[in-house]
A and B are shown apart, each in its own frame.
Chain A
Amino acid sequence: MPASLPDVDPLIVRLAGAIAPTITPDTVIVGIHTGGVWVAERLHAMLKCSLPLGTLDISFYRDDFSRIGLHPQVKPSNLPFDLEGRDILLVDDVLHSGRTVRAAMNELFDYGRPASIRLAVLVDRGGRELPIRPDFTGLELDVPAHQNVNLSRLDDGHLTLSLA
């Protein structure tokens, strides 16, 4: 494992570069709360999408609700466009088990039937428990199960990755 994790900004630039050729007029970017929204905000600005940014809070779709209850700080989901026939670019900060992405896809389909969904993640840390793979990845890591990769945002808006 690297002692320190790389800067986030170059990773997002690389991610945006890979995504750019695939953007269509029907593409909408949807970030998953909370870290995924931060990354999605950056991508949305860089990729000059005409449609507004969407955000998802998947708390009501989690598969571990019956074990851990409701997340203490649920935020409203906000999808200010019709999903019907859209190409969705789903964005999360760290891809681990894949359960969050499954929950996000279930939630999206309750808003309508998109034409396609692709997945962009800042970090793929390994450890998947579901058959889910990202279409665009900023950084691939092989992190042991007992460790966590976290994205945090400083007061000045700067994003940093840490390993704990």
Chain B
Amino acid sequence: MNPQLTEDGRLRHLLTLDGLPRAILMQILDTAESFMDVGEREVKKVPILRGKSIFNLFFEPSTRTRTTFEIAAKRLSADVVNLNIATSSQTKGEAILDTVDNLAAMHADMFIVRHSQSGAAHFIARHVAPHISVINAGDGRHAHPTQGLLDMFTIRRFKGEFHNLTVAIVGDVLHSRVARSQIHALTTLGVPEVRVIGPKTLLPTGVEQMGVRVFHDMEAGLAGCDVIIMLRLQNERMKGALLPSAQEYFKFFGLTPEKLALAKPDAIVMHPGPMNRGVEIDSEVADGPQSVILPQVTYGIAVRMAVMALLAGTGNA
């Protein structure tokens, strides 16, 4: 049984996009669409989560993801508490549960969890009382489901459909929880061709079993693509010599205007941020007319509002 779903198949936690049915992904995207205008109203709020307490539990620092969750929660009229907990003070799993129990005793309704260890959000979700929901805001190399969802929302906004697309994910797939969430969502939503492009050292072994085509040559991989998703080169996570140098990487796998020209003329360029300009992406592309990197950030708020509203509704039912 999928621990994210209730017995009657509604979303109870959002931990990973792996195994979530297409109907739920579409429900989240449709709900997000109806939240799109809230940011443009005179009063940028709807009252749906009034009186709910949401805790941002960030065991790993992230300014932007935390901020968009915070804005999303506030636009739903929830009360938000941000806790940035240094991982060094969290040595054992038990300490995490102590933190969670204490916050639950303060009548928390929802936890948004970011942690450098894969499975942290699942661990908390298994522990909390039935009325509390957990959203995974990134766990280790495992999953970052709201990023995956906002990427799907962006693709649907610009391309309309999924069934006729060729989507390439380029770069450090090995260390990327974002890529894993994207691949699950793209295949569930019926994208017929998902490609991963990168050097052998940065693609996980057996990635083909996720239903993707593998390219080690960027020129070949980009040909005919509708959507290009660039991944951040995770410098801070790379231990050992997986790459000769950032310059070398840019030469082969950095997205330049010349390489972008190999994709379809109306291809869009996405990036989950923060970008390493001149490493995985050229500034001319990042700021160019085919870039939808800033819209991704805006859409991320509506998508996170949708997930929170759906989870809060399920928890109370």
Q: Which B-chain residue is minimally distant from A69 (CB atoms)?
A: B313
Contact of A76 with B37 in the complex, beta carbons under 8 Å: yes
By a CB distance below 8 angstroms, the chain A residues around B35 are 60
Name the distance in Å between B239's Cβ and chain A's nearest Cβ. 44
Give complex CA distance A74, B33 in Å: 9
Name the distance in Å between A7's Cβ and chain B's nearest Cβ. 33
Name the distance in Å between B34's Cβ and chain A's nearest Cβ. 4
A87 proximal to B (CB < 8 A): no
Partner of A70, one of B37, B42, B45, B309: B309
Interface locus among A12-20, A88-96, A104-112: A104-112
Contact of B317 with A69 in the complex, beta carbons under 8 Å: yes
Contact of B34 with A65 in the complex, beta carbons under 8 Å: no
B5 proximal to A (CB < 8 A): no
Contact of B42 with A77 in the complex, beta carbons under 8 Å: no
**A103-146 to B contact mask, C-beta < 8 Å, 1/0:** 00011011110000000000000000000000000000000000
Name the distance in Å between A164's Cβ and chain B's nearest Cβ. 24
Contact of A57 with B34 in the complex, beta carbons under 8 Å: yes
- The verdict on A66 contacting B46 (CB below 8 Å), with A57-B34, A72-B27, A76-B37 known, is no
List B residues 158-182 near A (Cβ within 8 Å): none
B47 proximal to A (CB < 8 A): yes
Give complex CA distance A75, B35 in Å: 9
Give complex CA distance A69, B313 in Å: 4
- The verdict on A65 contacting B33 (CB below 8 Å), with A60-B46, A110-B45, A111-B41 known, is no
B43 proximal to A (CB < 8 A): yes
Which among B31, B76, B310, B314 has the highest number of chain A CB atoms within 10 Å? B31
B63 proximal to A (CB < 8 A): no
Q: Which B-chain residue is minimally distant from A83 (CB atoms)?
A: B42
Q: Which A-chain residue is minimally distant from B49 (CB atoms)?
A: A65
Name the distance in Å between B45's Cβ and chain A's nearest Cβ. 7
A48 proximal to B (CB < 8 A): no
Partner of B42, one of A67, A73, A110: A110
Give complex CA distance A112, B40 in Å: 12
Name the distance in Å between B28's Cβ and chain A's nearest Cβ. 11
Q: Which A-chain residue is minimally distant from B40 (CB atoms)?
A: A111
Partner of A110, one of B33, B41, B310: B41
Contact of A70 with B31 in the complex, beta carbons under 8 Å: yes
Contact of A66 with B42 in the complex, beta carbons under 8 Å: no
B48 proximal to A (CB < 8 A): yes
A68 proximal to B (CB < 8 A): yes
B205 proximal to A (CB < 8 A): no
Contact of B314 with A69 in the complex, beta carbons under 8 Å: yes
- The verdict on A65 contacting B48 (CB below 8 Å), with A60-B309, A70-B310, A77-B37 known, is yes
B262 proximal to A (CB < 8 A): no
B235 proximal to A (CB < 8 A): no
Partner of B46, one of A61, A68, A72, A112: A61
Give complex CA distance A73, B23 in Å: 12
By a CB distance below 8 angstroms, the chain A residues around B43 are 109-111
Q: Which A-chain residue is minimally distant from B42 (CB atoms)?
A: A112
Give complex CA distance A125, B34 in Å: 30
- The verdict on A73 contacting B316 (CB below 8 Å), with A60-B47, A60-B48, A106-B47 known, is no
Contact of B36 with A76 in the complex, beta carbons under 8 Å: yes
Give complex CA distance A142, B313 in Å: 33
Contact of A75 with B48 in the complex, beta carbons under 8 Å: no
A-B contact pairs, 5 of them (CB 8 A): A59-B48, A67-B316, A68-B317, A76-B36, A106-B47
